[in-house]
C-alpha cells in the first residue's frame, strides 16, 4: 500500500514553551511529507477533527502524532485502517528535561526581553519569540520525530490470522475444581467436558466426613458441598462428564486442540513419545514412527495427527493433588548399590511412621473419620486422645513438605472430629505455624474455644511406645514453658498435598518442548506461573491450571479458583476466534511472520520461545502455531538470519529508527540508544516525566515488546553508525522473574554478554552495551541508572566509528 | 528442665474454672501482652501468660498452689489490653476462687460456700442455732422496757458462740489451708525455678511476714494498678474499717469481761467513736465497691457469685448494724430487736465462712506475698 504520511505536532502540555516547533518541523520532517500541521491541543475534538479531515480528504493513511506518550490517549488517536505512530515529546522530552541554562532571574520580564533582543548574537540557543530553547532538548525532539517517521514508513497494519476455532472447553479432573470450572463454563454458555480418571467424580472432597467452613460465621464444620456440585454438573445440559478416562495426548493449539483419550493406566499408540527435547547440547533422538506405524509400545510422533481425536478450544487443568506419603520406617535401610539415589527425602524415623500402626497421616484419618467413629488402626478401639503433629520438629521449624493453610485447617477440623466422637476426648495440636488466614481465623478461634482441644507451638522430640497400648509424644520449646510429654491413643501427621504435576506431565502435550509445563521445579512442582499479576496464566497458551494443582487450597478456594480459570479459558477461545493474542498483549492482532526460504533450521526460535509456540515440521523447519503465540517477539530477537518479524514490529522498523538518530560529531554530545521494555521500563520512563524527574538528554529511547525481542543487529547498527552505547532496560529475571514473557530479559542478557565479545573483536569496549533490570515502581531509580551509564560512556570515550 | 513434664489435662478442672467466672480462658492465644502490661508481676517468669495456658490445658497442679495466682491483685490491666478478650484477670480470679475451695477444710463446706444454689443454707444454719438457743432459754420474744440487748439475746450466749468460732474454728481452718498452700506453693515454685530459696524455715518465714505487712497495709501493690485504680479507695476504706471494727470488738470484750463494764457505752466514748466511724467508712467503702463493679469496663467482668455474695453480705452487715444502733437510740424495740437478730446472723456468716469465701484472700494472699519475698521472687521493700 502506498503510504501517505501526515505529521501532527501538538503544542499543548508545555511542548510549545520548551521547543521551537517551526524548527522541529523543518529539521525532522522530510520534504516528501507534505501534510505537516501543529495544533495547540491535538487531543481536543478540533484537533482530532483536523486529522480526520486529512484522512478523508487527502487520503492520508499513516498518521504521525508528536505529542504525548503512546501510553495515553491511545483511544483518542485511533483511526480505522490508518497506521498511527506516536512520538513521545511530552513525557519523553519536555517533561523529563529541564533546560540547562536557566531563564533570567526574577528581575522581570522586561529585562529578560531586552537581553534577548540585545544579546541575540551571543546567545545562539535563544531564538524565536523570546522563548528559551535548550539546544539539547530540541535535538532530542527532532530525533524522536525522525525516528517516528522512519518507523511509520516500515510498518503495516496487522491482519488477524484466521483459524477455525472450536469453542468447547475440556476440563481435566473431576474434583471440586474441575466440576466447578465446568459449571462456570456452562453457565457462561459454553460447552464443557470433564474427564476424570477415577470411576466416579468428586475427588477427595467426596471422601471427607466434613469440610472446613465456607460460609458465615465460618466457625463450624459443614457437610461437604461436593455432592451438590456433582448433582448440578450432572444435570447441566452443557456439561459432559466422562469418568474412567485420561488424556493420551493433546495435540494442536488453542482453539484447535486435538485430544486423544484412553483408559487410565493403559498404553496407547497416541501416548507422547519420550520428550524430543534431550539434555542440552545432545542430539535430539530420532522421531518415533508416524500415525500409520504407531503401536502402544512405539507411539506416534508428535506431528502425527489422530483422525479420531476430539477437538476442543481450551483446557482447564484441575487434576488436583495427591497425598504426601512420608517415608515409612521399614523403608529406611537404603538399598546398597541399587538404582541411583533419588532426590533426598526427609527422614521421619523419630515419629514412628510405619513402625507404630497408630501413627497415621491426616489423609488416613480422614478416611477413618468418614467411615464412622474414629478408631485405631491397630485394634479398632475408639480413640479418646489424639496428637496432631504439624511439624516434624527435631530442631527444625519446617513443616511437612507441601503443608499449607489447608494442613493447619485440617488439623483443627480433625481435632473437632475427635471431640464430636467423644465428649471427653482430647486433641492436642503441636505446630510451628498455624496458618489460618482471613476468615479461617474464625474457625481457629472456634476450635481453640473447645475445652478438649489443646494447642501449642512445639518442637517434636519423638513418638514412642508408652508401655501399655498408648503412644507418648514428647515435645520441647512449648508454650507451656517446658518440655512436655503426652500420652495419646493415636498420632496424626499433618502431611501436605503434592500437586499432580510434580512428577507427571499430566497434560501430555504433543509439543516440541515437551509434554508438560516447563520449569515447575521453581515452584516445587505446582503449576504456578510466577506471573505475579496473572495467576491463571501458564506457559502454554490456552491451558489454565486451577485448584490444588496451583497451590494447596480449601474447597471454597478451589471453587473461586475454578471460576477464574473458566473465564480465562473463555477469553482464550474468543480471542483465538478473532485472531487476537490472549495474554499479556491481549487484543494484539499481529503475529510473527517467517521468511522460510532463508531459514537455516538453527532452531533457536523453537528452543527459546518460552511458550512452546513453535514445533518442527518433518524437515526440521520451524512450524508456527499462531494461537499458541504471545506476540512477544523473542523468536525475532533470537533469529540470526533475521527472517522473523511482525507487520508492525520488525527488524527493519526498529532498525530504521536507530538509523534515523542523528549522531553529531562534535565533542560533548554523546548519543546512547535505550531499548526499553514496554511492560515496565517504558512506563517507568513516562512516570519519570510525569514526576518531572530529569535524565540525560543524550539518550534516545525505543520501546520494545520485550527485551527478548531485541535483535543484536540493532545494537550493531547503532554502534557502527557512531552511537556511543546501548542501554537495555528490562524486567527482573532469575527464579523470581518478572518478565511478562518469562525468559525475555534473561535471554537478552545472554545475548548481550555474547555481543560484548563481538564488540571486543571490533576494538569496541564491552561497557558500551549494558542491560539493567527494573520494576515499574522503581521509576525513581531510572535517572540514576541513566546517569551512571552516561558516566561509563564518558569514561570509555566517544565511539571511534563516529563520522564513518 | 531437662525432664519432660507429663501433661494430663483435667477437663473437669477447666469446666470448674469456667463456672467460677473464667469462661474466657480458652480465648488466649499466648501473645503475652498480659504479662507485659501487668504492673505488678515480677520480670522473671511473669504472670499471667503462663497461667493462661495452664488453665487452657487444665493443668491443675500448675495453678492451684501457684503463688503467682495470689500475687495478682486483679488490677485487670491485662484484661483491658488483651487482644482476644481472654480476660486473664478474671481467669486468675477464678483460679483463686478454686484454690480457696481446694484448701478449705472440710472441703464440702468450701464447695457449698462457692455454690450459688446454697446461699439460703448458709444463712439457715445461724438462724436455726439462734432459734433453738433462744427458744430453749425462753428468750424468743421482744422484751419490755428500754432496749437492752442482753435482755433479748444474752451477751454470754453471743460470746459462747463467737469466742470459740473466732478463737478455735477460724484459726484451725485457716491453719490447715495455709499449711497445704505453703507446701504446694513451695513445690510449685521450686519446680520451675521461681523460688531462689528451696527450703522452708518457719521462723525466718515469719520475719518475711513482717516485711510484707507494710505492703499490705499501705496497699502498695494495689496502687500500681492503672486501669482499675478507682478500686483503691473503696478497698482501703473497707479494709481499715474491718480492722477498726475488729479492734472495737476486742476492746469491748476486754471492757466487759476484764473491766466489768457492760454496754451500752456513751456515744462520745473514744472506742464508740471508732466503732461509728468504722461503720460509716465500711458503708461508704462497700457502696463505692458496688458502684465500681456496675461500671462498664470493656474487657472486665462485673463479678460473679463468688464476688457479689461477699459484697452483699458486707452491705447487709453494715446496714443491719447501723439500723440496730439507730433504732436502739430511737427506742423502737419492735424494729431494733429483730434487726439485731438479723445482724447477728450475718456476723455469724462472715465469721464462720471467712476461710471459704472471697474474704479468705486476706490470709492466703498475705501468705503468698510473704512467701514470694521469702523465696526471693520479689524483693522486700
Strand partners, A249: A260
Residue B321: CB atoms within 10 A of its CB come to 22
* pLDDT for res A111: 46
Helix (H), strand (E) at residue A127: none
Q: Alpha helices of A578-680 — where are they, by DSSP H? A: 604-608, 634-638, 651-660
Q: How far is C-alpha A25 from the geometric centre of its chain's CA atoms?
A: 42
Average pLDDT over residues B316-329: 94
Q: Is the pLDDT of residue A617 over 90?
A: no
Distance CA A230, CA A237 (A): 13
B6 min Cα distance to partner chain A (Å): 5
User: Is A442 near chain B, with CB under 8 Å?
Assistant: no
Burial of A105 (0-12, 13-18, 19+ CB in 10 A): exposed
* pLDDT score of A122 more than 50: no
Query: Is B9 an interface residue toward A (CB < 8 Å)?
Result: yes
Residues paired with A222 in a beta bridge: A211
Are the beta carbons of A484 and B4 separated by less than 8 Å?
Answer: yes
ipTM of the complex: 0.87
Count of structural domains within chain A: 5
Handedness of CA A402, A408, A412, A413 (dihedral sign): negative
Contacts of B95 (CB under 8 A, 6+ apart): B17, B22, B51, B55, B63, B64, B66, B69
Shared domain for A435 and A518, answered yes or no, is no
> Do A543 and A631 have their domain in common?
no
**How far apart are the C-alpha atoms of A507 and A457, rounded to whole Å?**
41
Q: Which of A651, A658, A710, A705 is nearest to A681 (CA)?
A: A705
Q: Tell me what pLDDT residue A108 has.
A: 45
Is A684 found in the same domain as A636?
A: no
Closest CA of chain A from B367, distance in Å: 26
A479 Cβ under 8 Å from any chain B Cβ? yes
A637 Cα distance to chain centroid: 19
The answer to whether B6 contacts A487, with C-beta atoms less than 8 Å apart, is yes
Please answer yes or no on whether A480 and B5 come within 8 Å at the CB atom. Answer: yes
Please, how many CA atoms are within 13 Å of residue B185, restricted to the half-sphere of its CB? 29
Q: What is the pLDDT of residues A46-56, one digit of tens each?
A: 999 999 999 99
CATH superfamily of B11-103: Alpha-helical ferredoxin (1.10.1060.10)
Cβ of residue A424 closer than 8 Å to a chain B Cβ = yes
Whether residue A376 is found in the same domain as residue A391: yes
Q: How far apart are CA B302 and CA B315, in angstroms?
A: 17
DSSP state of B291: H
- The answer to whether A480 contacts B59, with C-beta atoms less than 8 Å apart, is yes
pLDDT band at A333 (very low <50, low <70, confident <90, very high): low
Does residue A181 sit in the same domain as residue A282? yes
Q: A681 with A713, same domain?
A: yes
Q: How far apart are CA A233 and CA A768, in angstroms?
A: 62
Nearest to B11 among A424, A457, A481 (CB): A424
Residues A388-402: what's their mean pLDDT?
A: 93
What is the pLDDT averaged over residues A479-484? 89
* Distance in angstroms (rounded) separating the CA atoms of residues B349 and B334: 24
Instruction: Give the side-chain half-sphere CA count within 13 A for A59.
Output: 6
The reply to whether A485 and A540 lie within a common domain is: no
Q: What pLDDT score does A638 carry? A: 96
User: What is the band of A105 on the pLDDT scale with cuts at 50, 70, 90?
Assistant: very low
Query: Distances in Å between the alpha carbon of A797 and those of A663, A769, A792, A793, B211?
Result: 15, 14, 9, 6, 86
Q: Which residues of B touch A468 (CB under 8 A)?
A: none
Q: What share of chain B is helix, strand, coil (3-state, %, to 5)?
A: 70, 0, 30
Residue pair A254/A596 in contact by the 8 Å Cβ criterion: no
Q: What is the CA radius of gyration of chain A?
A: 33
Q: Give the tens place of pLDDT for each residue, B236-256.
A: 999 999 999 999 998 988 888
Give the number of C-alpha atoms closer than 13 A to the C-alpha of residue B126, restricted to the C-beta side: 22
Instruction: Output the CA–CA distances (angstroms, integers) from residue A459 to A245, A485, B55, in the order listed.
Output: 44, 12, 21
Test the A interface: residue of B6, B7, B54 with most A CBs within 10 Å: B7
| Binary contact (A483, B29; C-beta < 8 A) | no
Q: What 3-state class would DSSP assign to A619?
A: coil
Is the Cβ pair A480, B18 closer than 8 Å? no
Helix (H) or strand (E) holding A623: strand A622-624
- Do the domain assignments include residue A113? no
Of A449, A454, A474, the CB nearest to B9: A454
- Angle (nearest 5°) at CA B347 between B343 and B350: 135
Q: Is A322 helix (H, G, I), strand (E, B) or coil?
A: strand
pTM to 2 decimal places = 0.86
CATH number of the domain to which A612 belongs = 3.30.70.20
Q: In a 3-state reduction of DSSP, which class is residue A83?
A: strand
- For residues A195-206, average pLDDT: 96
Chain centre distance of CA B148: 33
The whole-angstrom distance between residue A541's C-alpha and the CA centroid of its chain comes to: 11
Q: Is the Cβ–Cβ distance between A584 and A534 less than 8 Å? A: yes
- Residues B57, A454: C-beta atoms closer than 8 Å: yes
The mean predicted confidence, pLDDT, of chain B is: 91
Q: By the CB < 8 Å criterion, does A474 face chain B?
A: yes
* Residue pair A359/A351 in contact by the 8 Å Cβ criterion: yes
* Of A26-40, B175-189, B287-301, minimum mean pLDDT range: B287-301
pLDDT of residue B259: 86
Cβ–Cβ of A480/B56 closer than 8 Å?
no
A452 inside 8 A of chain B by CB: yes
pLDDT in tens, B4-49: 889 999 999 999 999 998 999 999 999 999 999 999 999 989 999 9
Backbone phi and psi for residue B307, each to the nearest 5 degrees, phi listed first? -85, -55
Contact assignment for B53 to A448 by CB distance below 8 Å: no
Residues of chain B neighbouring A474 (CB-CB closer than 8 A)? 4
Are residues B4 and A485, on separate chains, in Cβ contact within 8 Å?
Answer: yes
**DSSP per-residue codes, A779-800:** GGGHHHHHHHHHHHHHHH-S-T
Task: Give yes or no for A448 touching B (CB within 8 A).
Answer: yes
Q: What is the pLDDT of residue A1?
A: 66
Q: Can you give the residue range of the structural domain that contains A658?
A: 649-804
Condensed to tens digits (0 to 9), the pLDDT of residues A635-694 reads 999 999 999 999 999 999 999 999 999 999 888 899 999 999 999 999 999 999 999 999
Q: Are residues A569 and A687 in the same domain?
A: no
In sequence order, what are the beta bridge partners of A704? A677
**Secondary structure (DSSP) of A43-60:** TSHHHHHHHHHHHHHH--
Residue A332 lies in a domain: no
- Tell me: pLDDT of A13 over 70: yes
Mark whether A802 and A653 lie in a shared domain.
yes
Taking only the tens place, the pLDDT of each residue in B118-127 is: 999 999 999 9
- Residue A441, chain B, CB below 8 Å: the answer is no
Q: Choosing among A479, A483, A485, which should be mutated to test the B contact, i.e. which has the most B CBs within 10 A?
A: A479
Judge if A515 and A378 occupy the same domain.
no
Chain B positions touching A476 (Cβ under 8 A) are 4
- From residue A1, alpha-carbon distances to A154, A155, A588 in Å are 11, 11, 21
Q: Work out the pLDDT band at A344, boundaries 50, 70, 90.
A: low
Shortest alpha-carbon distance between residue B23 and chain A (Å): 10
Q: Indicate yes or no: CB of A485 within 8 angstroms of CB of B30.
A: no
CA quadruple B145, B151, B153, B158: dihedral, nearest 10: 140
Which of A450, A452, A485 lies at the smallest CB-CB distance from B6?
A485
Query: pLDDT band at residue B139, thresholds of 50, 70 and 90?
Result: confident
Is residue A287 over pLDDT 60?
yes
Chain B residues touching residue A445 (CB < 8 angstroms): 27
Check CB contact under 8 Å for B53 and A456.
yes
b (16+ CB within 10 A) / e for A403-440: bbbbbbbbbbbbbbbbbebbeebbbbbbbbbbbbeeeb
Residue of B nearest to A424 (CA): B11
Query: What CATH number does the domain containing A297 carry?
Result: 3.50.50.60
- Which of chain B's residues have a Cβ under 8 Å away from the Cβ of A457? 30
Contact yes or no for A743/A608 (Cβ under 8 A): yes
Measure the CA–CA gap between A301 and A284, rounded to whole angstroms.
13
Q: Note whether A445 contacts B27, CB cutoff 8 Å.
A: yes
A-B interface: how many C-beta pairs under 8 angstroms?
60
Picking from B3, B4, B83, B189 by the largest number of A CB atoms within 10 A of its own CB, the best residue to mutate is B4
Is residue A374 within 8 A of residue A421, CB to CB? The reply is yes
Q: What residues does each domain of chain B span?
A: 11-103, 117-375
Average pLDDT, chain A: 90
| Structural domain contains residue A112 | no
Give A110's pLDDT tier (boundaries 50, 70, 90): very low
From A430, A348, A428, select the one nearest A386 (Cα to Cα): A428
Q: How far apart are CA B88 and CA B69, in angstroms?
A: 11
- Given an 8 Å threshold on Cβ–Cβ distance, is A482 in contact with B192? yes
Task: Report the chain A residue with the minimal C-alpha distance to residue B5.
Answer: A484
pLDDT at A280: 47
User: Measured between CA atoms, how close is A485 to chain B, in angstroms?
Assistant: 5
Residues of chain B with Cβ-Cβ distance to A454 below 8 Å are 9, 56-57
A448, A456, A482 member nearest B5 (Cβ): A482
Contact A245, A264 (CB under 8 A): yes
Residues 6+ apart with CB under 8 A from A344: none
Residue A471 phi/psi, 5° resolution? -115, 150
Contacts of B5 in chain A (CB under 8 A): 480, 482-485
Within an 8 Å CB–CB cutoff, is residue B56 touching chain A? yes
**Which among B367, B290, B304 has a CA at the least distance from the CA of B87?**
B304
The verdict on residue A752 lying in a domain is yes
In which band, very low, low, confident or very high, does the pLDDT at B228 lie, cut at 50, 70 and 90?
A: confident
Name the minimum distance, in Å, from the CA of B66 to any CA of chain A: 15
| A67 and A145 together in one domain | yes
Residues 6+ apart with CB under 8 A from B280: none
Q: How far is B188 from chain A (nearest CA, A)?
A: 14
CB atoms inside a 10 Å sphere around CB A140: 24
Rounded Cα gap, residues A44 and B18, in angstroms: 74
**Helix (H) or strand (E) segment spanning residue B62:** helix B60-63
* Phi, psi of A463, deg, nearest 5: -120, 130
The residues, ordered by sequence, that sit 6+ positions from A780 with a Cβ below 8 Å of its Cβ are A688, A691, A693
Tell how far CA A392 is from the center of its chain.
34
> At residue A616, what are phi and psi to the nearest 5 degrees?
-105, 140
DSSP category for residue A688 = H
Looking at residue A331, what is its pLDDT?
58
Is residue A262 domain-shared with residue A356, that is, in the same domain?
no
A497-520 pLDDT tens trace: 999 999 999 999 999 998 999 888
Mark yes or no for CB contact B26/A450 under 8 Å: yes
Decide if B309 touches A, using CB distance below 8 A. Answer: no
DSSP state letters, B141-206: SPPSSS--HHHHS-HHHHHHHHHHIIIIIHHHHHHHHHHHHHHHHHHHHHHTT--S--S--HHHHH
Domain boundary residue, one of A464, A480, A495: A495
Q: What tens digit of pLDDT does each residue of A405-455 get?
A: 999 999 999 999 999 999 999 999 999 999 999 999 999 999 999 999 999
Q: Cite the DSSP H helix spans in A634-729.
A: 634-638, 651-660, 681-690, 712-720
Amino acid at each position: 500500500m502506498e503510504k501517505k504520511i501526515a505529521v501532527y505536532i501538538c503544542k499543548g502540555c508545555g511542548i510549545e514553551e520548551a521547543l521551537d516547533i517551526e524548527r522541529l518541523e523543518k529539521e525532522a520532517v522530510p520534504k516528501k511529507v507534505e501534510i505537516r500541521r501543529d495544533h495547540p491541543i491535538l487531543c481536543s475534538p478540533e484537533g482530532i477533527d483536523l486529522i480526520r479531515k486529512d484522512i478523508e480528504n487527502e487520503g492520508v493513511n499513516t498518521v504521525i502524532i508528536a505529542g504525548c506518550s503512546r501510553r495515553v490517549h491511545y483511544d483518542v488517536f485511533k483511526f480505522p485502517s490508518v497506521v498511527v505512530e506516536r512520538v513521545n515529546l511530552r513525557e519523553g522530552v519536555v517533561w523529563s528535561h529541564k533546560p540547562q541554562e536557566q531563564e533570567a532571574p526574577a528581575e522581570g520580564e522586561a529585562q529578560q526581553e531586552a537581553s534577548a533582543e540585545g544579546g541575540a548574537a551571543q546567545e545562539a540557543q535563544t531564538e524565536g519569540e523570546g522563548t528559551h530553547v535548550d539546544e539539547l532538548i530540541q535535538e532530542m525532539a527532532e530525533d524522536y520525530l525522525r525516528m517516528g517517521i522512519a518507523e511509520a514508513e516500515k510498518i503495516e497494519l496487522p491482519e488477524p490470522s484466521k483459524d477455525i476455532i472450536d469453542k468447547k472447553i475440556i476440563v481435566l479432573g473431576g474434583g471440586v475444581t474441575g466440576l466447578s470450572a465446568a459449571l462456570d463454563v456452562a453457565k457462561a454458555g459454553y460447552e464443557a467436558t470433564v474427564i476424570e480418571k477415577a470411576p466416579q467424580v468428586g475427588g477427595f472432597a467426596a471422601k471427607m466426613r466434613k469440610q472446613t467452613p465456607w460460609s458465615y460465621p465460618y466457625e463450624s464444620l459443614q457437610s461437604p458441598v461436593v455432592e451438590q456440585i456433582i448433582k448440578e454438573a450432572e444435570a447441566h445440559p452443557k456439561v459432559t462428564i466422562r469418568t474412567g478416562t485420561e488424556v493420551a495426548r493433546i495435540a494442536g493449539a488453542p482453539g484447535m486442540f486435538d485430544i486423544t483419550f484412553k483408559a487410565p493406566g493403559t498404553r496407547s499408540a497416541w501416548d507422547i513419545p519420550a520428550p524430543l527435547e534431550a539434555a542440552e547440547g545432545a542430539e535430539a533422538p530420532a522421531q518415533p514412527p508416524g500415525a500409520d506405524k504407531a503401536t502402544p509400545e512405539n507411539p506416534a510422533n508428535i506431528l502425527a495427527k489422530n483422525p479420531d481425536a476430539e477437538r476442543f478450544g481450551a483446557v482447564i487443568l484441575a487434576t488436583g493433588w495427591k497425598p504426601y506419603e512420608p517415608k515409612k520406617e521399614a523403608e529406611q535401610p537404603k538399598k546398597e548399590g541399587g538404582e541411583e539415589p533419588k532426590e533426598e527425602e526427609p527422614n521421619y524415623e523419630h515419629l514412628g511412621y510405619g513402625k507404630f500402626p497408630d501413627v497415621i497421616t491426616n489423609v488416613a484419618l480422614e478416611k477413618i473419620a468418614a467411615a464412622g467413629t474414629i478408631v485405631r488402626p491397630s485394634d479398632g478401639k475408639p480413640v479418646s486422645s489424639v496428637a496432631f503433629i504439624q511439624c516434624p520438629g527435631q530442631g527444625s521449624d519446617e513443616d511437612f513438605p507441601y503443608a499449607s493453610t489447608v494442613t493447619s485447617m485440617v488439623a483443627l477440623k480433625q481435632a473437632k472430629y475427635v471431640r464430636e466422637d467423644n465428649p471427653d476426648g482430647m486433641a492436642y495440636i503441636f505446630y510451628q505455624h498455624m496458618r489460618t488466614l482471613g476468615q479461617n481465623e474464625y474457625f481457629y478461634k472456634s476450635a481453640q474455644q473447645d475445652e478438649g482441644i489443646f494447642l501449642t507451638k512445639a518442637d517434636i522430640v519423638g513418638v514412642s511406645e508408652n508401655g501399655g497400648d498408648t503412644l507418648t509424644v514428647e515435645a520441647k520449646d512449648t508454650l507451656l514453658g517446658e518440655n512436655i510429654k503426652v500420652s495419646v491413643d493415636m498420632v496424626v501427621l499433618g502431611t501436605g498435598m503434592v500437586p499432580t504435576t510434580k512428577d507427571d506431565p499430566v497434560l501430555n502435550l504433543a509439543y516440541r518442548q515437551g509434554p508438560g509445563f516447563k520449569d515447575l521445579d521453581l515452584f516445587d512442582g505446582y503449576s504456578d506461573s510466577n506471573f505475579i499479576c496473572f495467576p491463571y496464566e501458564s506457559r502454554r497458551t490456552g491451558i489454565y491450571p486451577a485448584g490444588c494443582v496451583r497451590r494447596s487450597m480449601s474447597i471454597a478456594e478451589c471453587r473461586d479458583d475454578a471460576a477464574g480459570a473458566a473465564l480465562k479459558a473463555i477469553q482464550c477461545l474468543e480471542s483465538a476466534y478473532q485472531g487476537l493474542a490472549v495474554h499479556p498483549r491481549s487484543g494484539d492482532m499481529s503475529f510473527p511472520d517467517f521468511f522460510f526460504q532463508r531459514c537455516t533450521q538453527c532452531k533457536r526460535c523453537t528452543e527459546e520461545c518460552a511458550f512452546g509456540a513453535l514445533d518442527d515440521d518433518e524437515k526440521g523447519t520451524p512450524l508456527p502455531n499462531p494461537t499458541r503465540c504471545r506476540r512477544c517477539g523473542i523468536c525475532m530477537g533470537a533469529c540470526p538470519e533475521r527472517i522473523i518479524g511482525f507487520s508492525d514490529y520488525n527488524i527493519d522498523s526498529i532498525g530504521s529508527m536507530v538509523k534515523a538518530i542523528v549522531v553529531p560529531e562534535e565533542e560533548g554530545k554523546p548519543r546512547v540508544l535505550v531499548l526499553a521494555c514496554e511492560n515496565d521500563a517504558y512506563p517507568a520512563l513516562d512516570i519519570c516525566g510525569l514526576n518531572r524527574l530529569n535524565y540525560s538528554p543524550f539518550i534516545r529511547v525505543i520501546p520494545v515488546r520485550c527485551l527478548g525481542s531485541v535483535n543484536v543487529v540493532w545494537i550493531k547498527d547503532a554502534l557502527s553508525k557512531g552511537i556511543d552505547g546501548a542501554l537495555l532496560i528490562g524486567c527482573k529475571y532469575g527464579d523470581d522473574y518478572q518478565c511478562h514473557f518469562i525468559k525475555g530479559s534473561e535471554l537478552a542478557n545472554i545475548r548481550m554478554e555474547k555481543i560484548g565479545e563481538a564488540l571486543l573483536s571490533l576494538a569496541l569496549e564491552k561497557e558500551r552495551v549494558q542491560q539493567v533490570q527494573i520494576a515499574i515502581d522503581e521509576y525513581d531509580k531510572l535517572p540514576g541508572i541513566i546517569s551512571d551509564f552516561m558516566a561509563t560512556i564518558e569514561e570509555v570515550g566517544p565511539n571511534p566509528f563516529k563520522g564513518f | 528442665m531437662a525432664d519432660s513434664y507429663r501433661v494430663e489435662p483435667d477437663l473437669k478442672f477447666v469446666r470448674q474454672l469456667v463456672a467460677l467466672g473464667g469462661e474466657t480462658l480458652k480465648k488466649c492465644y499466648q501473645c503475652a501482652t498480659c504479662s507485659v502490661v501487668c504492673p505488678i508481676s515480677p520480670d522473671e517468669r511473669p504472670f499471667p501468660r503462663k497461667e493462661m495456658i495452664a488453665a487452657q490445658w487444665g493443668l491443675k497442679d500448675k495453678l492451684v498452689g501457684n503463688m503467682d495466682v495470689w500475687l495478682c491483685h486483679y488490677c485487670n490491666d491485662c484484661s483491658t489490653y488483651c487482644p482476644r478478650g481472654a480476660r486473664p484477670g478474671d481467669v486468675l480470679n477464678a483460679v483463686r476462687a478454686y484454690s480457696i475451695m481446694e484448701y478449705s477444710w472440710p472441703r464440702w463446706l468450701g464447695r457449698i460456700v462457692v455454690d450459688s444454689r446454697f446461699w439460703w443454707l448458709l444463712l439457715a444454719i445461724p438462724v436455726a442455732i439462734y432459734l433453738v438457743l433462744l427458744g430453749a432459754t425462753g428468750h424468743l420474744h421482744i422484751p419490755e422496757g428500754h432496749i437492752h440487748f442482753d435482755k433479748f439475746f444474752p451477751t454470754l450466749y453471743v460470746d459462747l458462740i463467737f469466742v470459740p468460732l473466732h478463737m478455735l474454728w477460724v484459726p484451725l481452718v485457716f491453719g490447715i489451708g495455709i499449711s497445704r498452700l505453703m507446701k504446694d506453693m513451695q513445690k510449685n515454685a521450686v519446680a520451675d525455678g521461681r523460688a531462689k530459696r528451696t527450703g522452708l524455715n518457719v521462723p525466718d518465714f515469719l520475719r518475711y511476714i513482717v516485711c510484707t505487712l507494710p505492703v499490705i497495709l499501705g496497699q502498695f501493690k494495689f496502687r500500681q494498678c492503672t486501669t482499675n485504680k478507682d478500686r483503691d479507695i473503696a478497698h482501703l476504706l473497707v479494709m481499715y474499717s474491718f480492722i477498726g471494727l475488729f479492734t472495737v470488738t476486742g476492746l469491748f470484750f476486754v471492757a466487759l469481761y476484764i473491766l466489768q463494764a457492760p454496754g451500752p457505752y456513751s456515744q462520745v466514748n473514744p472506742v464508740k467513736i471508732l466503732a461509728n466511724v468504722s461503720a460509716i467508712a465500711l458503708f461508704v467503702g462497700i457502696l463505692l465497691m458496688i458502684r465500681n463493679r456496675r461500671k462498664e469496663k470493656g474487657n472486665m467482668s462485673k463479678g460473679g457469685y463468688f464476688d457479689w455474695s461477699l459484697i452483699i453480705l458486707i452491705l447487709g452487715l453494715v446496714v443491719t448494724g447501723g439500723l440496730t444502733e439507730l433504732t436502739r437510740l430511737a427506742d423502737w424495740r419492735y424494729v431494733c430487736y429483730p434487726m439485731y437478730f438479723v445482724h447477728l446472723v450475718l456476723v455469724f456468716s462472715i465469721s464462720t465462712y471467712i476461710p471459704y469465701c472471697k474474704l479468705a484472700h486476706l490470709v492466703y494472699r498475705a501468705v503468698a506475698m510473704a512467701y514470694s519475698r521469702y523465696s526471693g521472687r520479689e524483693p522486700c521493700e
